[in-house]
Amino acid sequence: MEPIDVYLMYCALKAHFSKSNYNYFKYEGKTRIKRDSFYKRKDSFFFVRLSKKYTEHEDIQNYLIANFIREPIGYVARFSNKVYEEWLYKRQNFYTIFTDEMRPLVNEFQPLFEVKSSTHPKLLQEYLGKRVSLETLIILNELVSYIDNWNKELAEDFIWGDLKKLMNNYKGFLTIDTERYRILLLKLIEESRL
């Protein structure tokens, strides 16, 4: 992949993760960015280096996605291979990670989603405490649809607003076998009652 194409992909993903009116999937990764703008950038070496390190379109896209999740603003100086490697590990082992993250929480499953006056729900607190991953939040929403309730209850909460946007932007890049996770979650709940 040519460095200029990496740059154009970066611009499309940056718009997807940072702007509310751009959807990477709807516009098929195309933007109004002119190719000439690549040559005016002082950090064009980043895209050259990335195009040499990862030759496949999917690898470059995944590298950028992993870093945009951590850094939605998209400062390339903060992008790193370490973030990408952690994301790849998580992606390859997510079934086990989901199990490990949910096992301590299933004893009191319903209260995870309850919004009590002026406090974040337990599940959101677990995410903010880095005990639950973004992917787990997305999967749980696919299973129990808690987002609509949180939108009503946490309408003025800027933390929830930013997280909801990140979840919506990231969800399209995930392939979730909903039935597999539903069965796993029911199994974990059943085991917790024994």
- Per-residue model confidence as pLDDT tens digits over 36-54: 999 999 999 999 999 999 9
Give the long-range contacts of residues 175-182, CB within 8 A, separation 24 or more: 176/138, 176/139, 176/142, 178/139, 178/142, 178/143, 180/95, 181/98, 181/139, 181/142, 181/143, 182/143
Give the model's pLDDT for residue 175: 94
Give the model's pLDDT for residue 48: 97
Percentage of the chain exceeding pLDDT 70: 100
Q: DSSP characters for 98-128?
A: HHHHHTTTGGG-GGGG---TTS--HHHHHHH
- Name which of 4-13, 46-55, 108-117 the model is least confident about: 108-117
Q: What is the C-alpha separation between 191 and 188, in angstroms, rounded?
A: 5
- pLDDT surpassing 90 at residue 118: no
pLDDT in tens, 145-184: 999 999 999 999 999 999 999 999 999 999 999 999 999 9
Confidence of residue 114 (pLDDT cuts 50, 70, 90): very high
Is residue 24 within 8 Å of 10, Cβ to Cβ? Answer: no
Residues 109-121, mean pLDDT to the nearest whole number: 91
Confidence of residue 126 (pLDDT cuts 50, 70, 90): very high
List, in order of start, the domains of the chain with CATH numbers: 3-90 (1.10.8.60), 94-192 (1.10.220.50)
Q: What is the C-alpha separation between 85 and 70, in angstroms, rounded?
A: 13
